[in-house]
Structures are given as structure tokens and as C-alpha cells.
Amino acid sequence: MSDLSTIRSEALGAVSAAADLAALDAARVAVLGKKGSVTGLTKTLGAMAPEQRREFGAKVNELKSEVEAALEVRKGTLSSSALAAKLVSEKVDVSLPTRPEGQGSLHPIGQVMDEVAAIFGEMGFTWADGPDIEDDWHNFTALNIPPDHPARQMQDTFYLPSRADGTPVVLRTHTSPVQARTMLNKNVQKRLADGGSLRIIVPGRTYRIDSDATHTPMFHQVEGLVIDRATHMGHLKGCLVDFCRAFFEVDDLPLRFRPSYFPFTEPSAEVDIGCSWKDGELRIGAGDSWLEILGSGMVHPNVIRNCGLDPAIYQGFAFGMGIDRIAMLKYGIPDLRSFFDSDLRWLRHYGFSALEWPSLTGGLGR
């Protein structure tokens, strides 16, 4: 029993003398660990007579409970002291400014896509998209592009391995395949049959084998399509005049429609906007020069027919332009390749705040 009293005195003394949490844990291990003094007492119980074991075991358990209670009390005291010391040594000056954090920017391509969508959205257009990897029929044949057209040549188009049935597969050379896919949609065809109309814009990536200051192998286009029973060339002109003046934010921007050729439209026209050059700087608006920015025309009857509609009943117009190109013109970006350089300095200069959401009422750009 004297051993019990000695161990009790030493254990409680070690707990009381612990100066910090690490020392307290060491005291706990020395008393209650696998090789601790109290644990050692329990190992002697097996050699005792039953009556003695019962009496001595109760006293060992009582000692163990007493030590555990002392440990908890001392732990609370030491934890409070450690927290108080930490608060004293780690004071924070709340009057200091916060640490600066980098602010991200929206890429000009995303910004211009939103601007285009805002303008055409006010005209009743909806956003449509489709796959970047297209089959030959949707990319070429459905759009009235003949087999001998230069766009089908290997030096102009990225061809991928053909499908199991031999169907040629390409990276789409324009976003026009989405127009074909939309017209082929049964719900769209039902809406048109019921007297409705189709108005979509198709922004997205396109791919061609080309690379210089104004061309890259991957670039962005937006195309528009209107199909109904009565749309004519006058509607096309009015739509594009309104768009160009809103996008470039020049109310009296002059536009010129020049006859042209595209296999998927007839008649076809390229659209020029007025501009001037002063000291080597391009200025959009009235001037003595013209700048071509997009192609357009009435949808060719063969395209309407290929997409499951009757050209004797339905007609419409289509147009397409390079998003990268109109972004360069509007925001004075000299080299198309810089769009894809991932240069943070360039993006800080030409990027847009995420809060600059474009709208016709609140303003499109800067």
C-alpha cells in the first residue's frame, strides 16, 4: 500500500509541475501509458488472492480516476495560459489594409462574344452551339459546298481519321454546320410548319490550316441564321446595319454591301464598314476607306432542301464574321496571335472586369 501512496504522490506532483502541454503529456505517459506506474500496478493483480485483488484493484482504479481528473484540470489551465500568451504575442492591427490580391480579367474574346449576344438577343436571336469535330456531310455537303471546293483540300482543312463506315471527319472549318443541325431538328421543323420562325446565332471555335498576324489555326466565328416564310434581303441589311452600328458604337456608321459568292447563300454579299486612316491609326466611322468585316446572303435553296425543308415555302438569310477580327478592330489589338499567347501583361491591358457585363442599355464595351 505504501507503493500506492508513493505513486499517487509522484503522479499528482508531476501533473502539477508540468509547465506546458508537452510536459503534461509526458507526465500522463509516465503514469498511465503502457509502461506507466499506475499501469504497472494493474499488472500485479493477477498474482494476488481474490479478496486482496478486489480491495487493491478498487484502490488502483480510484488512483487512476484521480490522476485523470488532475490531468484534465491541469490541461485546461495550461491551454488557457497558452492561448493568452499567443494572443499577446500575435496581435493583429485591424487598421492595416488587407493584403493585395490579384484581380482576374475577362479575355477580349469572351467579352466580344457577350457583346454580340447582347445585341442579337435584343433582336430575338437565341444562342446555339454544336460539336467542334464534324462529319463531312454537315461541314460541307449540307451547305452546298461541292466536292472540288478548295475548302475540302487537305492543305486548308484539318482531317481526322475516318469513322468505321468510311465517313470523313474534320475539325469544323466554320460554325455553319450548327445551322444545318438546327434546321434538321424536328422540333424546329414543327415550329416552322406552324408558322413560326428560326433565329439563331452560333458563336464558337473553328479551325483552318493558316497562321500569320491575322490568321491562326484555331479562331472564333459567330454566324447567324433566320428562316421563315417571308424574310428577304432588306431584312438582312437592316439587321446587319443595326448590329454594326451598335457593336462599334457609331450611330452613323456607313455600311456597304458588295456582291460576292458563297456556296451556301444566293445572292451573297460582303459587308464593308466605313473607316479612315490618320497617322497610321484606324478609325471606324465616316471616312474615305472601307473595311470588309463579314459575309452574308440569302440561304441557298439547296441548303434549305438538304436540311429537310421546302425552299418553295421557306427562305431566310445567314451571315458570319470572325469574333477575333471584330475584337481587334474595336479594341485596337494589332496581332491576332497575341490572343493565344497566355501573356498576363497583355490580358491585364486588354482584359475586362467581370462586372462589365455588356448590354445595349448599360453599354457594351469600355
Domain boundaries, the chain: 2-88, 108-350
Report, as an integer, the average pLDDT of 260-266: 93
Strands (E), the chain: 126-127, 133-135, 159-160, 169-171, 198-207, 218-228, 255-262, 265-278, 281-284, 289-299, 315-322
Count of Cβ atoms closer than 10 Å to residue 136 Cβ: 19
- Confidence class of residue 366 from pLDDT cuts 50, 70 and 90? low
State the pLDDT at residue 151: 67
3-class SS of residue 281: strand
- Give the Å distances, CA to CA, from 295 to 264, 267, 298, 321, 345: 11, 11, 11, 7, 34
> Does residue 205 sit in helix, strand or coil?
strand
DSSP 215: B
Read off the pTM: 0.70
At residue 55, the 3 state secondary structure works out as: helix
Secondary structure tally for the chain: helices H, strands E: 12, 11
Whether residue 241 contacts residue 269, with contact meaning beta carbons closer than 8 Å, is answered with no
Comparing 73 with 245, which gets the higher pLDDT? 245
| 309-354 per-position pLDDT tens digit | 999 999 999 999 999 999 999 998 888 888 888 888 898 888 888 7
Give the residue from 11, 75, 14 showing the smallest Cα distance to 37: 11
pLDDT of residue 304: 96
More confident: 147 or 248: 248
What CATH code is assigned to 108-350? 3.30.930.10
Nearest to 297 by CA among 264, 273, 249: 264
pLDDT at 55: 77
Give the strand pairing for 289-299 and 315-322: antiparallel
